[in-house]
Homo-oligomer: A and B are copies of this chain.
């Protein structure tokens, strides 16, 4: 990581810095390696620490750097490809807990049920390479579950927690036939999600909303949040070639 010139250009310093740093981590560093600390880098480039941090913020958002308090700033591993589809979800998800509660105004609207109606909420977490990379809240009207004796659980007080969660998921698996419709957008993790992802609040996440249809009607709703820094969501007929990491192509031409 050579010294710097930072010739006066019309572009902001932090953006120029980002470019310089990006070239450096691509050519002179390898995954997991720590780069020089912020105070040294800012001195070396002759900028304020805040300006340097602005450049590091960008690179962290792009998933190229990971910052660990008390440790340093590391070159991030390439993003992991996470398949987003009902089929192959099974393995990697772990049920955290499950609860049944009356639907709030907004949830009822989104689920297409009456406000106050009982709704099961299953909370799951996806672990990839020993790291929690996604959380999911799955909402399903309790009425749909009650109508199915084979699934209704034994005890008089309805089961709670992981057991009910797994039951709900089993049911959903048999229910869904009409397909799913999805939306992806950018969001930030709030308190609970952030805690599950072991990240500070405000962490950028890719929010995937999935509507499950059955009998031409909305049957369930899932809201999943994936760590934007470490995840690349993959869709579609997984046949074909492995999906090429994008960064390679985008900077090529």
Contact = CB atoms under 8 A, between A and B. Distances in A.
- One complex includes copies of this chain to the number of 2
A52 to B, nearest CB: 15
Nearest to A231: B185
Contact of A202 (B18, B186, B236): B18
A156 interface: no
Contact of A79 (B50, B109, B185, B244): B185
Nearest to A213: B240
A29 interface: no
B188 A243 contact: no
A106 B248 CA distance: 6
Given A58-B202, A110-B244, A253-B107, A228 B182 contact: no
| Best-surrounded residue of A18, A104, A202, A239 (most CB of chain B within 10 A) | A202
A81 interface: yes
A179 B233 CA distance: 18
A128 to B, nearest CB: 14
A68 interface: no
Interface stretch (A89-97, A144-152, A204-212): A204-212
Contact of A187 (B62, B209, B221, B253): B62
A106 B251 CA distance: 9
A223 interface: yes
Given A201-B11, A218-B240, A246-B223, A235 B182 contact: yes
Given A61-B186, A185-B246, A223-B250, 16 more contacts: A11-B201, A12-B201, A15-B202, A106-B249, A179-B237, A180-B236, A181-B236, A181-B240, A182-B243, A183-B234, A184-B232, A185-B233, A186-B229, A190-B250, A209-B246, A211-B240
Interface of A: 11-12, 15, 18, 50, 58, 61-63, 79, 81, 104-107, 109-110, 112, 121, 137, 139, 178-188, 190, 201-202, 204, 206-207, 209, 211, 213, 218, 221, 223, 228-229, 231-241, 243-244, 246-253
17 contacts: A18-B202, A58-B202, A62-B187, A81-B183, A104-B252, A104-B253, A178-B237, A179-B239, A180-B236, A181-B235, A184-B206, A184-B233, A184-B235, A185-B228, A190-B251, A213-B240, A218-B240
